[in-house]
């Protein structure tokens, strides 16, 4: 049952559970080509979250700024292809949230360990703000911060558990959002990590 957290933002509890094994083996194949790494922000900070990407475009950050690229700066090669299972799951989740024909060209994969966090930000490096964003959570639970259109708007807090999928679009697309520092609650299958992947239409 979709849990609305905004006019066009929902959490689909457990939506990814039937395909967790397939998702984990796909991530193992992706990280063998493009390993998780800690990128540097334009402000010179090293992110506590480690990331990689799959699909035609991958989100990156360095001293020069945030941007999507067709190649992995660490390897110089294209990002690994987006597995068919990923594309299908993203489309099915978007459709369940009322966004038909979602066709992502980017999948950012974030890995959190205890203490890692993501401070409040907007996702605005994509070309197409008309498309929704679909986010899949695996492993340790996290507290998601869901704010407003201004950084100063007090955020709502909602937990994201193993297997949950969140979908955001339309008037909720530009909301500030973030993840509270992860508590150390080891997950039975994934241990001391949380993996989140977000599907976007970036190009």
Annotated binding-site positions for Fe cation = 121, 123, 177
Partners of residue 118 on adjacent β-strands: 179
Q: d(Cα 102, Cα 99) in Å, to the nearest integer?
A: 7
What's the CA gap between 36 and 46, in Å, rounded?
A: 13
- Strand pairing class (58-62; 65-69): antiparallel
x/- contact string, 106-135, with ligand MD3 (CB under 6 A)? Answer: --x-x-------x----x---------x-x
Structure tokens at 148: 């407003």
Backbone angles phi, psi at 192, to 5 degrees: -85, 55
The residues that touch Fe ion, with contacts defined as CB under 5 A, are 123
Selection from Fe ion, ligand MD3, none that 201 binds (CB < 5 to 8 A by kind) is: none
Q: Which does residue 133 touch among ligand MD3, Fe ion, none (CB within 5 to 8 A, set by kind)? A: ligand MD3
Q: Which residues are annotated as a binding site?
A: 121, 123, 177
Nearby residues of 198 by Cβ (< 8 Å), 6 or more positions away: 107, 108, 110, 133, 134, 135, 136
Q: Which of 198, 199, 201, 202 binds ligand MD3 (CB under 6 A)?
A: 198
Contact between residue 106 and residue 55 where contact means Cβ atoms under 8 Å apart: yes
Looking at beta carbons, which residue is closest to Fe ion?
123
- Shortest reach from residue 172's CB to ligand MD3, in Å: 6
| Category of 14 on φ-ψ map: left (φ > 0), alpha (ψ -120 to 50) or beta | left
Q: Using the rule CB under 6 A, which residue among 12, 107, 179, 202 binds ligand MD3?
A: 179
Work out how close the CB of 137 gets to ligand MD3 at its nearest, in angstroms, rounded to a whole number: 6
Q: How far is the CB of 159 from Fe ion (least distance, A)?
A: 17
Interacting positions 149-178 with ligand MD3 (CB under 6 A): 166, 168, 172-173, 175, 177
The answer to whether 181 and 46 are in contact (CB under 8 A) is no
Number of residues that bind ligand MD3 (CB under 6 A): 15
Which tokens is 137 given?
């959570």
* Residues at the site binding ligand MD3, with contacts judged by CB under 6 A: 108, 110, 118, 123, 133, 135, 166, 168, 172-173, 175, 177, 179, 196, 198
């Amino acid at each position: 049952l979709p849990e609305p957290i905004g006019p066009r933002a929902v959490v689909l509890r457990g939506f990814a559970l039937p395909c967790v094994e397939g998702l984990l083996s796909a991530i193992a194949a992706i990280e063998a080509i493009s390993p998780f790494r800690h990128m540097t922000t334009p402000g010179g900070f090293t992110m506590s979250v480690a990331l990689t990407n799959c699909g035609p475009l991958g989100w990156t950050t360095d001293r020069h700024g945030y941007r999507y690229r067709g190649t992995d700066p660490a390897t110089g090669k294209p990002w690994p292809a987006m597995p068919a299972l990923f594309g299908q799951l993203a489309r099915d989740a978007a459709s369940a949230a009322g966004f038909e024909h979602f066709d992502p060209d980017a999948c950012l994969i974030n890995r959190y360990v205890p203490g890692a966090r993501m401070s409040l930000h907007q996702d605005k490096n994509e070309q197409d703000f008309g498309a929704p964003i679909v986010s899949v959570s695996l492993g340790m639970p996290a507290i998601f911060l869901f704010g407003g259109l201004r950084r100063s708007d007090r955020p709502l807090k909602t937990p994201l558990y193993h297997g949950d999928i969140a979908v955001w679009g339309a008037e909720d697309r530009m909301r500030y959002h973030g993840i509270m520092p992860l508590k150390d609650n080891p997950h039975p299958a994934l241990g001391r990590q949380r993996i989140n992947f977000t599907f976007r239409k970036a190009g």
